[in-house]
Protein backbone atom coordinates (compact mmCIF):
# COMPACT_ATOMS: atom_id res chain seq x y z
CA UNK A 1 0.00 0.00 0.00
CA UNK A 2 1.49 3.30 -1.09
CA UNK A 3 1.88 6.01 1.53
CA UNK A 4 -0.34 8.94 0.49
CA UNK A 5 -1.03 10.73 3.79
CA UNK A 6 1.25 11.99 6.53
CA UNK A 7 -0.18 12.37 10.02
CA UNK A 8 1.95 14.69 12.10
CA UNK A 9 1.54 15.80 15.67
CA UNK A 10 3.26 18.33 17.85
CA UNK A 11 3.72 15.93 20.77
CA UNK A 12 3.43 12.22 21.45
CA UNK A 13 0.70 13.11 23.95
CA UNK A 14 -1.45 13.86 20.86
CA UNK A 15 -1.10 10.28 19.61
CA UNK A 16 -4.32 8.87 21.14
CA UNK A 17 -6.34 11.49 19.26
CA UNK A 18 -4.33 11.40 16.04
CA UNK A 19 -4.57 7.60 15.82
CA UNK A 20 -8.22 8.23 14.92
CA UNK A 21 -7.11 9.78 11.62
CA UNK A 22 -5.15 6.63 10.96
CA UNK A 23 -8.15 4.47 11.84
CA UNK A 24 -10.27 6.32 9.27
CA UNK A 25 -7.57 5.81 6.65
CA UNK A 26 -7.14 2.14 7.60
CA UNK A 27 -10.86 1.53 7.01
CA UNK A 28 -10.42 2.76 3.44
CA UNK A 29 -7.09 1.07 2.72
CA UNK A 30 -5.09 4.30 2.49
CA UNK A 31 -1.42 4.18 3.45
CA UNK A 32 -0.01 6.73 5.88
CA UNK A 33 2.92 7.57 8.10
CA UNK A 34 2.91 9.01 11.62
CA UNK A 35 5.48 11.52 12.88
CA UNK A 36 6.03 13.73 15.92
CA UNK A 37 7.50 17.12 15.11
CA UNK A 38 7.06 20.51 16.65
CA UNK A 39 6.56 23.84 14.94
CA UNK A 40 8.46 25.43 17.82
CA UNK A 41 10.95 22.84 19.08
CA UNK A 42 11.91 21.29 15.71
CA UNK A 43 10.89 23.90 13.12
CA UNK A 44 13.66 22.90 10.69
CA UNK A 45 12.44 19.29 10.74
CA UNK A 46 8.86 20.40 10.05
CA UNK A 47 9.96 22.62 7.16
CA UNK A 48 12.15 19.89 5.68
CA UNK A 49 9.38 17.32 5.94
CA UNK A 50 6.83 19.62 4.28
CA UNK A 51 9.23 20.54 1.47
CA UNK A 52 9.97 16.88 0.71
CA UNK A 53 6.57 15.32 1.27
CA UNK A 54 5.34 15.48 -2.33
CA UNK A 55 8.58 13.90 -3.52
CA UNK A 56 7.89 10.99 -1.18
CA UNK A 57 4.46 10.40 -2.75
CA UNK A 58 2.52 12.07 0.04
CA UNK A 59 -0.56 13.87 -1.25
CA UNK A 60 -2.20 15.18 1.96
CA UNK A 61 -0.82 16.27 5.33
CA UNK A 62 -2.82 16.04 8.56
CA UNK A 63 -1.36 18.05 11.44
CA UNK A 64 -2.60 17.87 15.01
CA UNK A 65 -1.48 20.22 17.74
CA UNK A 66 -2.72 21.82 20.93
CA UNK A 67 -1.98 25.12 22.59
CA UNK A 68 -0.39 27.52 20.12
CA UNK A 69 -1.09 24.89 17.40
CA UNK A 70 1.21 26.28 14.73
CA UNK A 71 2.25 22.95 13.19
CA UNK A 72 -0.40 22.91 10.44
CA UNK A 73 0.40 26.49 9.46
CA UNK A 74 4.14 25.90 9.41
CA UNK A 75 3.68 22.85 7.19
CA UNK A 76 1.33 24.76 4.88
CA UNK A 77 3.93 27.51 4.53
CA UNK A 78 6.40 25.03 3.03
CA UNK A 79 4.20 22.97 0.69
CA UNK A 80 1.36 23.33 -1.77
CA UNK A 81 -0.08 19.99 -0.68
CA UNK A 82 -3.42 20.17 1.16
CA UNK A 83 -2.96 20.51 4.92
CA UNK A 84 -5.70 19.53 7.34
CA UNK A 85 -5.38 20.85 10.87
CA UNK A 86 -6.69 19.04 13.94
CA UNK A 87 -6.91 21.35 16.94
CA UNK A 88 -6.26 19.33 20.07
CA UNK A 89 -7.54 20.07 23.53
CA UNK A 90 -4.39 20.10 25.64
CA UNK A 91 -4.84 18.18 28.88
CA UNK A 92 -3.00 20.88 30.80
CA UNK A 93 -4.89 23.78 29.24
CA UNK A 94 -8.07 25.34 30.51
CA UNK A 95 -9.33 26.52 27.11
CA UNK A 96 -10.56 23.11 25.96
CA UNK A 97 -8.85 23.33 22.58
CA UNK A 98 -10.34 26.69 21.63
CA UNK A 99 -6.84 28.18 21.62
CA UNK A 100 -5.69 25.57 19.11
CA UNK A 101 -8.81 26.01 16.97
CA UNK A 102 -8.39 29.77 16.80
CA UNK A 103 -4.69 29.44 15.93
CA UNK A 104 -5.56 27.17 12.98
CA UNK A 105 -8.50 29.06 11.52
CA UNK A 106 -6.67 32.40 11.46
CA UNK A 107 -4.21 31.54 8.72
CA UNK A 108 -3.19 34.45 6.51
CA UNK A 109 -4.53 34.84 2.99
CA UNK A 110 -2.63 32.60 0.59
CA UNK A 111 -1.65 29.87 3.07
CA UNK A 112 -4.80 27.79 3.64
CA UNK A 113 -5.25 25.13 6.28
CA UNK A 114 -8.47 23.13 6.29
CA UNK A 115 -9.50 22.69 9.91
CA UNK A 116 -11.75 20.09 11.51
CA UNK A 117 -13.37 20.10 14.94
CA UNK A 118 -11.41 20.07 18.17
CA UNK A 119 -10.08 16.51 18.58
CA UNK A 120 -11.71 15.70 15.21
CA UNK A 121 -8.89 13.54 13.85
CA UNK A 122 -11.28 10.90 12.48
CA UNK A 123 -12.92 13.51 10.27
CA UNK A 124 -9.47 14.72 9.22
CA UNK A 125 -8.74 11.21 7.99
CA UNK A 126 -12.03 11.15 6.10
CA UNK A 127 -11.38 14.59 4.59
CA UNK A 128 -7.95 13.41 3.43
CA UNK A 129 -9.67 10.41 1.83
CA UNK A 130 -12.17 12.67 0.10
CA UNK A 131 -9.34 14.79 -1.30
CA UNK A 132 -7.62 11.67 -2.61
CA UNK A 133 -10.92 10.38 -4.01
CA UNK A 134 -11.13 13.28 -6.44
CA UNK A 135 -8.67 11.30 -8.57
CA UNK A 136 -9.62 7.75 -7.50
CA UNK A 137 -12.97 6.26 -8.53
CA UNK A 138 -12.51 3.16 -6.36
CA UNK A 139 -11.90 5.28 -3.28
CA UNK A 140 -14.97 7.36 -4.17
CA UNK A 141 -17.03 4.15 -4.19
CA UNK A 142 -15.60 3.09 -0.81
CA UNK A 143 -16.51 6.45 0.70
CA UNK A 144 -20.03 6.27 -0.75
CA UNK A 145 -20.48 2.74 0.63
CA UNK A 146 -19.26 3.92 4.02
CA UNK A 147 -21.93 6.64 4.03
CA UNK A 148 -24.64 4.11 3.13
CA UNK A 149 -23.48 1.85 5.96
CA UNK A 150 -23.55 4.79 8.37
CA UNK A 151 -27.09 5.74 7.31
CA UNK A 152 -28.23 2.12 7.63
CA UNK A 153 -26.85 2.08 11.17
CA UNK A 154 -28.82 5.18 12.13
CA UNK A 155 -32.01 3.70 10.64
CA UNK A 156 -31.46 0.46 12.55
CA UNK A 157 -31.07 2.38 15.80
CA UNK A 158 -34.28 4.27 15.08
CA UNK A 159 -36.14 1.00 14.42
CA UNK A 160 -34.88 -0.38 17.74
CA UNK A 161 -36.04 2.76 19.50
CA UNK A 162 -39.46 2.60 17.89
CA UNK A 163 -39.89 -1.05 18.90
CA UNK A 164 -39.34 -0.26 22.59
pLDDT tens readout for residues 77-100: 999 999 999 999 976 666 889 999
Instruction: Compute the C-alpha angle 40/60/41, nearest 5°.
Output: 10
Residue 52 and residue 116 share a domain: yes
Contact predicate 62/128, CB 8 Å: yes
**Sorting pLDDT into bands at 50, 70 and 90, what band is 64?**
very high
Contact predicate 148/140, CB 8 Å: no
pLDDT at position 93 is 63
Helix, strand, coil distribution of the chain in percent, nearest 5: 50, 15, 30
Phi-psi region at 148: left, alpha or beta (left = phi > 0; alpha = psi -120 to 50): alpha
pLDDT at position 68 is 74
Share the mean pLDDT of the chain: 95
pLDDT at position 94 is 65
57: buried, middle or exposed (CB in 10 Å: 19+, 13-18, 0-12)?
exposed
pTM: 0.94
Q: Quote the domain boundaries for residue 105.
A: 3-133
Residue 91 and residue 43 share a domain: yes
Region 11-30 average pLDDT: 97
Residue 54 and residue 71 share a domain: yes
Give the whole-angstrom CA distance, residue 51 versus residue 81: 10
Residue 67 and residue 148 share a domain: no
Q: At residue 47, does pLDDT exceed 90?
A: yes
Residue 159 and residue 83 share a domain: no
Residue 147 and residue 72 share a domain: no
- Provide the domain count of the chain: 2
Amino acid sequence: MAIQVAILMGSDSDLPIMREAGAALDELGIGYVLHVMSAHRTPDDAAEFARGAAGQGIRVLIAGAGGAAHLAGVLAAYTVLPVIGVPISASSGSLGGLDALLAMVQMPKGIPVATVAINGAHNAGLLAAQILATADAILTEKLAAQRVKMADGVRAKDRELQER
